[in-house]
Amino acid sequence: MDNNYSIKIEYSPAYELIVSLYTFIYNRKLKTIDLREDWVKNTKDMLPAVFISELEDERWEVLHRIVLLISQCSKKETINEFLIWFERLSAGEIYERLAPWVDTISTELGLIRDKTVEILYKWNEYYFKSIDPSILSQLKQDAKSKHEKVKSYQPIDLIEEATNGIRIEKSNDLKQLILIPQSHCYPSTILDYFNGIATCLYPTSKRDNIDQTKGMLKLLQCIGDETRLKILLYLAKEPRTLIEIHKYLGLAKSTIHHHIAQLRREGVIRSHFVGSSTPAYYSLRKKFIAEFTAEFKELFEGNGENI
């Protein structure tokens, strides 16, 4: 029996609105994102102090379940279109839209809706409406590019290309995956599993020459570590679980996890997910070798003046 899932490509500025707010609220916990060092400070300067306190004090759902709602909104070309639609949803409608996918739903959906809409309107006014328009243009173009590949790619391969190494394996429960471009959490991917559906907010790549040079430097630093090289040689034989790598190297699991995260972010290895947002096992991404060689050659032959 074929348990393959379908894939849906989505774009709306509402997704990036949510991701940017999530990034601001949880920036201290997001150790792997490539925001400018002064982004949090500059963003705080744009926000009223009372709003900053509001974000610090309240723990409102601002990402995962709202992503499911955005995917069900038919008119979302602008932030206001989505927020007006969201604001008009009754608590009962929100419940009906989430119930097929979510096990536990709050009994205070009306209150959560009102507070979330209020926060999102303020975030849009104080911060999001002032972001570089090219960010949203790139996200829209990236989604269009991925959509054009849906018919010629297997879902698992298209996801790996979009995420630079994440493999969403078939499982009995997974029926559909929603693939969404995002920028604020670059280069991290935000993956969530629900009942029968998964959402994957993948990072759009940065292609200008300066970023290419910095990207090559990060990659060289990543694979130039002795422990990470040992992991790559171990994975070259066959896929391995975190426990197997831990036993092989004899290092703390937290240390192994740190090195694996570095390798995954650079696209050197694959993380394989099977019905859960925790990786089931890892494998060497062999096409990385050819891609690395080509990018290294291009950097020096075509863009050497930028080094």
Rounded to an integer, the average pLDDT of 286-303 is: 75
CATH of the domain at 215: 1.10.10.10
3 lies in some domain: no
The token pair at 231 is: 């992991």
Residue 234 parent element (H or E): helix 226-235
Give mean pLDDT, residues 82-90: 97
Q: Can you tell me the distance from the alpha carbon of 191 to that of 171, in angstroms, rounded to the nearest whole number?
A: 16
Total number of domains in the chain: 2
Under 8 Å between Cβ of 145 and 158: no
**Residue 291: pLDDT over 60:** yes
- For the residues 247-252, what does the mean pLDDT come to? 94
**Has residue 52 got a pLDDT over 70?**
yes
pLDDT at position 292: 75
CB 232 within 8 A of CB 248: no
How far is Cα 61 from Cα 194, in angstroms, rounded to an integer?
15
User: Considering the chain, what percentage of its residues have pLDDT values greater than 70?
Assistant: 91
From the CB of residue 16, how many other CB atoms can be counted at a distance below 10 Å? 24
- Same-domain pairing of 154 and 233: no
Query: Is there a contact between 282 and 235 (Cβ–Cβ < 8 Å)?
Result: yes
pLDDT for the residue 307 = 47
The answer to whether residues 158 and 216 belong to one domain is no
Residue that is last in its domain, among 151, 174, 203: 203
Which of 30-34, 91-95, 118-122 has the lowest average pLDDT?
30-34
Q: Which residue shows structure tokens 């920036």? A: 27
> CA 54 to CA 150: how far, in whole Å?
41
Domain extent, residue 218, equals: 209-306
pLDDT digits (tens, 9 = 90+) for 141-192: 999 999 999 999 999 999 999 999 999 999 999 999 999 999 999 888 999 9
